């Protein structure tokens, strides 16, 4: 189990309150630290600048072109952020969002186990070394 000082910091971005609550519970139960939950693009950027997360979980709308820009802009703020995008399935969208820089894509519906497993896979190496 990770201790609070070495637990990777996670920001959850999305506009569905119930989903954010479920994500937060699963992420914290797995030993990670949720440092913020945001609903708007502006709040997401502001939070990433101020709180410097290791991981951002993004609940994206179907094939919205702005989602690609959000991923790219987040990586402009901090190229070391690991972004996990979650969305309904759209043909070709997985490749597009990964090409924009997201580290992983999770199709709805998904299990919280799958989400936590993905978080463990994309956590920055510096955090893995700190928790060892």
CATH entry 3.40.50.2300 includes domain 9-124: yes
35 phi, psi to nearest 5 deg = -95, -10
* Mean pLDDT taken over the chain: 87
Instruction: In whole angstroms, give the CA distance from residue 90 to residue 35.
Output: 30
Whole-number percent of the chain with pLDDT over 70: 88
* pTM to 2 decimal places: 0.87
In the chain, what are the domain boundaries? 9-124
Work out the pLDDT band at 5, boundaries 50, 70, 90: low
| Alpha carbon 70 to its chain's center | 12
Instruction: In whole angstroms, give the CA distance from residue 41 to residue 24.
Output: 19
pLDDT in tens, 102-112: 999 999 999 99
Cβ-count burial 11-35 (b if 16+ within 10 Å, e if not): bbbbeeeeebeebbebbeebbbbbb
Residue 42, pLDDT score: 94
Round the CA-based radius of gyration of the chain to a whole number and report it: 14
pLDDT in tens, 12-29: 999 899 999 999 999 999
Whole-number percent of the chain with pLDDT over 90: 70
């Amino acid at each position: 189990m990770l201790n609070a000082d070495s637990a990777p910091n996670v920001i959850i971005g999305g506009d569905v309150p119930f989903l954010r609550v479920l994500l937060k519970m699963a992420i914290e139960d797995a030993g990670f630290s949720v440092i913020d939950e945001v609903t708007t693009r502006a709040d997401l950027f502001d939070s990433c600048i101020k709180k410097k997360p290791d991981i951002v979980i993004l609940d994206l709308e179907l094939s919205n072109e702005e989602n690609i820009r959000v991923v790219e802009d987040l990586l402009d703020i901090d190229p070391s952020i690991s972004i996990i995008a979650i969305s309904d399935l759209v043909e070709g969208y997985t490749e597009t969002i990964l090409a924009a820089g997201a580290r992983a894509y999770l199709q709805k519906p998904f299990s919280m186990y799958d989400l936590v497993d993905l978080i463990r896979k994309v956590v920055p190496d510096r955090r893995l070394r700190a928790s060892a």
